Amino acid sequence: MAVASSLALLATACGSGDDGSSSGGGSSAAALEGRGPITLASGKDTSGNLQHQLDAWNSSHPNEKVELKELPDDADAQRQQMVQNAQNQSDAYSVLVMDVVWTSEFAANQWISQIPEDKVPDLGKLVPATVETAKYRDKLYGVPITSDGGLLYYRKDLLTAAGITDAPKTWDELLADCQKVAATPGGKGMSCYAGQFEKYEGLTVNFSEAVNSAGGEIVDKDGKPNVDTPEALAGLQELQNGFKTGAIPKAAITYKEEESRRAFQDGKLLFLRNWPYVYSLANKTDGSSKIAGKFAVAPLPGKDGPGVSSLGGHDYAISSFAKNKATAMDFINFMASEAQQKDNLAKTSLAPTWASLYDDPALTKQFPYLPQLKASIASAQPRPRVVKYGDVTAAIQQAAYDALSKQSDPKAALAALQTKLQSLITQ
Site for other proteins, rule CB under 8 A = 1-14, 17-23, 27, 76, 80, 83, 107-110, 136-137, 198-200, 250-251, 253-255, 259, 262-263, 387-388, 390-391, 394, 397-398, 405-406, 427
**Pairing mode, if any, of strands 269-274 and 191-194?**
parallel
Whole-angstrom Cα distance, residue 386 to residue 103? 8
Closer to other proteins by Cβ: residue 26 or 216: 26
Whole-angstrom Cα distance, residue 398 to residue 387? 19
Residues 6+ apart with CB under 8 A from 368: 279
Least distance to other proteins, CB of residue 397, Å: 6
Least distance to other proteins, CB of residue 218, Å: 18
Whole-angstrom Cα distance, residue 207 to residue 401? 9
Least distance to other proteins, CB of residue 96, Å: 16
Closer to other proteins by Cβ: residue 106 or 171: 106
Closer to other proteins by Cβ: residue 181 or 252: 252
Closer to other proteins by Cβ: residue 179 or 245: 245
Least distance to other proteins, CB of residue 23, Å: 8
Whole-angstrom Cα distance, residue 262 to residue 248? 15
Least distance to other proteins, CB of residue 140, Å: 14
Do residues 147 and 131 lie in contact, with contact meaning Cβ atoms separated by under 8 Å? no
Whole-angstrom Cα distance, residue 35 to residue 17? 29
Least distance to other proteins, CB of residue 231, Å: 26
Least distance to other proteins, CB of residue 204, Å: 12
What phi and psi, each to the nearest 5 degrees, are found at residue 415? -65, -45
Amino acid present at 1: M
Q: How far is CA 14 from CA 3, 4, 87, 91, 294, in A?
A: 17, 15, 8, 17, 53
**Radius of gyration of the chain from its Cα atoms, rounded to whole angstroms:** 22
Closer to other proteins by Cβ: residue 57 or 200: 200
Closer to other proteins by Cβ: residue 4 or 362: 4
Residues 6+ apart with CB under 8 A from 344: 49, 53, 146, 350, 352
Least distance to other proteins, CB of residue 83, Å: 6
Amino acid present at 178: C
Amino acid present at 58: N
Closer to other proteins by Cβ: residue 330 or 402: 402
Q: How far is CA 74 from CA 43, 71, 77, 92, in A?
A: 8, 8, 5, 20
Closer to other proteins by Cβ: residue 155 or 199: 199
Least distance to other proteins, CB of residue 262, Å: 8
Least distance to other proteins, CB of residue 297, Å: 24
| Dihedral in degrees, nearest 10, Cα atoms 172, 384, 98, 88 | -150
Closer to other proteins by Cβ: residue 199 or 303: 199
Least distance to other proteins, CB of residue 193, Å: 16
Closer to other proteins by Cβ: residue 17 or 121: 17
Closer to other proteins by Cβ: residue 250 or 284: 250
